[in-house]
Amino acid sequence: MAGGAREVLTLQLGHFAGFVGAHWWNQQDAALCRPTDAKEPPGELCPDVLYRTGRTLHGQETYTPRLILMDLKGSLSSLKQEGGLYRDKQLDAAIAWQGKLTTHKEELYPKNPYLQDLLSAEGVLSSDGTWRVKSIPNGKGLPPFTNGRTPKPVMPTEGSIRVWSDFLRVHLHPRSICMIHKYNHDGEAGRLEAFGQGESILKEPKYLEELEDRLHFYVEECDYLQGFQILCDLHDGFSGLGAKAAELLQDEYSGRGIITWGLLPGPYRLGELQKNIYRLLNTAFGLVHLSAHSSLVCPLSLGGSLGLRPEPPVSFPLLQYDAALPFHCGAILATALDTVTVPYRLCSSPVSMVHLADMLNFSGKKVVSAGATIPFPLVPSQSLPDALMQLGEATPWTPLSACGDPSGTCCFAQSVVLRGLDRARHTSQLTPGTPLPSPLHACTTGEEVLAQYLQQQQPRVRSSSHLLLTPCKVVPPYPSLFSSSLSQHGSVLDGLPTGTAVESIPVLGALCSSSSLNRALGDLAKDLSKLDLRRWASFMDAGVEQDDLEETLQELRSLAQCYESGGGRLVD
């Protein structure tokens, strides 16, 4: 296995998953496209874990995400389902019917000005309809940034972004996009609203065979497949589709890791009763079924609650965002995701998906919560020990799993990643002989500083930590969410704001198994038990029986009991 990337295949299911995924892939792409004159750290993350190499019919090398994406009719805007890099002969063969054909032509969506500008910088569309990419010196990613006369790109605005494909800057393989044409993205009719609807999609031979064919295509070219990561909407019918997809993966690829990220958009409005009830039901069914078929499940949301009680969205001291905009929420969650997934994407000494899951999900605890500090607050004169001391004893990250305030909860196990700090700042820079402010200032490496800090915060807790030089890229089309007090590379400035755009940031991210999930899952079960299902017959008509609801309720209560306090360390 030495020398080979341990590949991961990503499944992206749903429209909000599309927003998170588009930001995620844009950030991966930005990490590949380093400025030629920048002082970048050596490659710590292996892009081959997420990307695959290929070749067009014209012999041009490509580097595209190892991705299967499912969304509804109307969600692609101007993006072509087959992508723009090359045509797939096997897809062409699928329409080899020689009989009479009737053509129904839909009105074309106007291309977002940002993507028009981006494509003109990357290549040209030849007369035969083939997209010809400009030469790529290293064979990976887009051409490097230049400081020459390249025109400044058009910036996407919130008003110009309708769907996730409006700001996706990454070319996809023809086998990536799988459209579900029986349901609509727009309008009130024909929506994928209920868990049972999503389950039924993969019971249809057409969609099941299409997914299986794409899985086999990607899996068979992998040398050391470590597993699958599923980005899945929890609030709508995609929770059922995700659960069925996870079951398929568990059956066909036993022994591989399956880590599911259950995505929920921003806080909901009280006036939308049916939508809120469906959100509750889909989330409950989704978490129970996904945890049954995944190695690990992590809800991701900027909301404060999984249940019906509305809670304000989480806040970040150095970010200003609109929780009602998927474009903003998706960017923040993608940044957290890009950080907490670091352990199984490392070039050296990577932790496999299975190992990460085993470390966190002992004693039946297959659901974990996420948290992040975006950006990690560090002033130019500070060292890592100084910054960690400044955080005090409070939980150092903002919760991102709609589990409420973590104060007063117990932690059982955690995986923590801190990225984006220069090596010179990893340890104390105090003059020899100066009294040490804390034991952290005596540590000789940054890894030791972080590990000792976590041990102080969470004694007797199973803990894993990683410290990386590589920051998180936040270049356009990442939205401008950052405080004006941040530098170009995310440091907190001592003086007046410079007005410089933030391009990269340090981030602290964590996955935790804690008793906060006892409260969150328990409250979800309480809300579910209070429902009068006679009022929501339409949800049951979608393929869910009364017995299924009772079983889900019992499973949810059992899952919550796994996280009762005892044996962990109390979080201040």
Clarify whether residues 509 and 523 are in a common domain: no
DSSP helix/strand/coil, 569? strand
Count of alpha carbons within 13 angstroms of residue 15, beta-carbon side: 24
Q: What is the pLDDT of residue 173?
A: 95
**Whether residues 171 and 315 fall in one domain:** yes
Smallest CA-to-CA distance from 115 within 53, 163, 67 is with: 163
In this prediction, residue 459 carries a pLDDT of 87
Residues 218 and 72 in one domain: yes
Q: Looking at the domain assignment, is residue 146 inside a domain?
A: no
Which residues, 6+ apart, have CB-to-CB distance to 295 below 8 Å? Answer: 227, 257, 258, 259, 353, 354, 357, 358, 361, 366
Co-location of 226 and 346 in the same domain: yes
Which amino acid is residue 543, in one-letter code? G
Asked if the model's pLDDT at residue 469 lies above 50, the reply is: yes
336 lies in a domain?
A: yes
Determine, yes or no, domain membership for 94: no
Which pLDDT score is estimated for 448?
Answer: 97
Cβ neighbours of residue 215 closer than 8 Å, sequence gap 6 or more = 9, 68, 248, 249, 252
pLDDT digits (tens, 9 = 90+) for 380-392: 889 999 999 998 8
The predicted pLDDT at position 133 comes to 47
Nearest Cα residue to 68 out of 242, 240, 251, 298:
242
For residue 425, give its domain range: 372-516
Q: Quick one: 320 and 445 in the same domain?
A: no
Residue 398 has pLDDT above 80, yes or no: yes
CA distance linking residue 269 with residue 500, whole number of Å: 36
406 within some domain: yes
Q: Hey, is 256 helix, strand or coil? A: coil
pLDDT higher than threshold 50 for residue 508: yes
Residue 366 is assigned to a structural domain of this protein: no
Question: Which of these three, 361, 388, 416, is where a domain ends?
Answer: 361
Of 330, 361, 392, which marks where a domain is finished? Answer: 361
Angle at 196 between CA 552 and CA 303, to 5 degrees: 65
| Helix (H) or strand (E) run with residue 29 in it | helix 15-32
Per residue in 251-279, pLDDT (tens digit) is: 999 999 999 999 999 877 767 788 899 99
pLDDT confidence band for 349 (50 / 70 / 90): confident
Q: Are residues 421 and 549 in the same domain?
A: no
Residues 383 and 481 in one domain: yes
Q: What is the mean pLDDT of the chain?
A: 85
Q: Rounded mean pLDDT of 348-368?
A: 90
Higher pLDDT residue, 401 or 2?
401
Question: Mean pLDDT, to the nearest integer, of 492-515?
Answer: 89
Question: Quick check: 154 and 114 in contact, CB under 8 A?
Answer: yes
pLDDT at 395: 86
pLDDT value, residue 500: 83
Write out the two tokens for 219: 């899996």
pLDDT of 94 reads 47
What CATH code is carried by the domain that includes residue 220?
Answer: 3.40.50.1440
pTM of the complete model: 0.89
Q: Whole-angstrom Cα distance, residue 289 to residue 245?
A: 11
**Residue-wise pLDDT tens digits, 517-556:** 999 999 999 999 998 877 887 888 887 888 888 999 999 9
Per-residue confidence at 82, pLDDT binned at 50, 70, 90? low
pLDDT band of 286, cuts 50, 70, 90? very high
Same domain, 410 and 438: yes
Whether residue 323 is found in the same domain as residue 229: yes
Where do the H-state alpha helices sit in 413-492? Answer: 446-457
User: Which pLDDT belongs to residue 40?
Assistant: 56
In a domain, 217, yes or no: yes
pLDDT in tens, 48-81: 999 999 988 888 899 999 999 999 988 887 677 7
In this prediction, residue 113 carries a pLDDT of: 61
pLDDT beyond 60 at 145: no
pLDDT above 70 (res 221): yes
Segments of 354-420 assigned E as strands: 369-373, 398-399, 410-419
Contacts of 423 (CB under 8 A, 6+ apart): 446, 469
- Give me the pLDDT at residue 2, please: 42
From CA 120, how far away is CA 134, in angstroms rounded? 10
The more confident residue out of 176 and 4 is 176
User: Which among 307, 330, 361 is the end of a domain?
Assistant: 361
Cis (ω within 30 of 0) for the bond into 375? Answer: yes
Whether residues 339 and 441 fall in one domain: no
Is 70 exceeded by the pLDDT of residue 572?
no
Q: Which of 26-40, 301-315, 483-497 has the lowest mean pLDDT?
A: 26-40
Cβ count within 10 A of residue 213: 12
pLDDT of residue 78: 64
- Is residue 90 in some structural domain? no
**Judging by DSSP bridges, how do beta strands 369-373 and 507-514 pair with one another?**
antiparallel
pLDDT at 442: 94
Co-location of 403 and 525 in the same domain: no
Question: Does 187 reside within a domain?
Answer: yes
Shared-domain flag, residues 523 and 510: no
The domain tally of the chain equals 3
